[in-house]
Amino acid sequence: MKHILVLGAGQTSTALIDYLIAEAPANNWQLTVADANLARARSKTHDAPHTHAVQLDVENTDQRIYFIAGSDLVISLLPQDLEYLVAKDCVQFNKHLLTAAHLDDDIAGLQQQVVDKGLFFLYESGIDHMRAMQLVHRIKAGGGTITSFTAHSGQLVAPGNDDNPWHYKTAGNTHRIVLAGKNGAGFRENGHLRQLSYEELFDANRAIHIPELGFLAWYPNHDSLDYIPVYQLSEALNFVRTTLQYPEFCFGWKNIVELQLTDETPQYQTNGMSLQSFFQEHFAKHGFSVWIEKQLTARFTQTKQLLEKLQQLLEAEQEAGEEERKALQDFMMVDNLGQLMDVNLDSVKTQAAATVAGQMHEANLSMKQLFFLGMDDDATTIDKGWCSAADVMQFVLQKKLALQPGDKDMTVIQHEITYEQDGVEQRLTSCLMLAGDNTHSALAKAVGLPLGITAKLILQNDIPLKGLHLPVHSQIYEPVLAALAPYGVHFEEYFS
pLDDT tens for 19-28 read 999 999 999 9
Residue 388: inside a domain: no
Answer yes or no: do 451 and 359 share one domain.
Answer: no
**Domains in the chain, number:** 3
Rounded to two decimals, what is the model's pTM? 0.86
Please give the pLDDT value at position 417. Answer: 98
pLDDT, residue 81, reads 93
Residues 139 and 258 both lie in one domain: yes
More confident residue, 329 or 72: 72
Alpha carbon distance 39, 155 (integer Å) = 27
Chain centroid to Cα 51, Å, comes to 32
Based on the fold, state whether residues 19 and 75 are members of the same structural domain. yes
Residue 331 pLDDT exceeds 50: no
The pLDDT assigned to 166 comes to 95
> pLDDT digits over 358-391, tens only?
455 566 788 899 999 999 999 999 999 999 999 9
Q: Does residue 28 contact residue 1 with C-beta atoms inside 8 Å?
A: yes
Average pLDDT over residues 154-167: 93
The predicted pLDDT at position 332 comes to 44
Identify whether residues 120 and 79 lie together within a single domain: yes
The answer to the question of residue 393 being in a domain is: no
- Contact in structure between 488 and 434 (CB atoms under 8 Å): yes
Pairwise CA distance, residues 407 & 438, whole Å? 9
- Confidence label for 334 from pLDDT (cuts 50, 70 and 90): very low
- pLDDT band per the 50, 70, 90 thresholds, residue 350: low
Query: What's the pLDDT tens digit per position in 404-439?
Result: 889 999 999 999 999 999 999 999 999 999 999 999
Residue 320's pLDDT band, with cuts at 50, 70 and 90, is low
Is 391 part of a structural domain of the chain?
no
443-448-451 Cα angle (round to 5): 140
Q: What's the confidence (pLDDT) of residue 292?
A: 78
CA–CA dist 255, 166 (Å, integer)? 12
What's the confidence (pLDDT) of residue 59? Answer: 96
> Where in the sequence is the domain holding 338, given as residue range(s)?
285-380
229 within 8 A of 136, measured Cβ to Cβ = no
Q: How confident is the model at residue 289 (pLDDT cuts 50, 70, 90)?
A: confident
Q: Is residue 386 part of a domain?
A: no
Query: How far is residue 160 from each of residues 156, 408, 487, measured CA to CA in Å?
Result: 11, 8, 21
pLDDT of residue 496: 87
Looking at residue 356, its pLDDT comes to 46
What's the chain's average pLDDT? 89
pLDDT digit string (tens) for 34-80?
Answer: 999 999 999 999 999 999 999 999 999 999 999 999 999 999 999 99
Residue 280 lies in a domain: no
Element (H, E) at 394: helix 389-400
Please name which of 288, 279, 282 lies closest in space to residue 267, comparing C-alpha atoms: 282
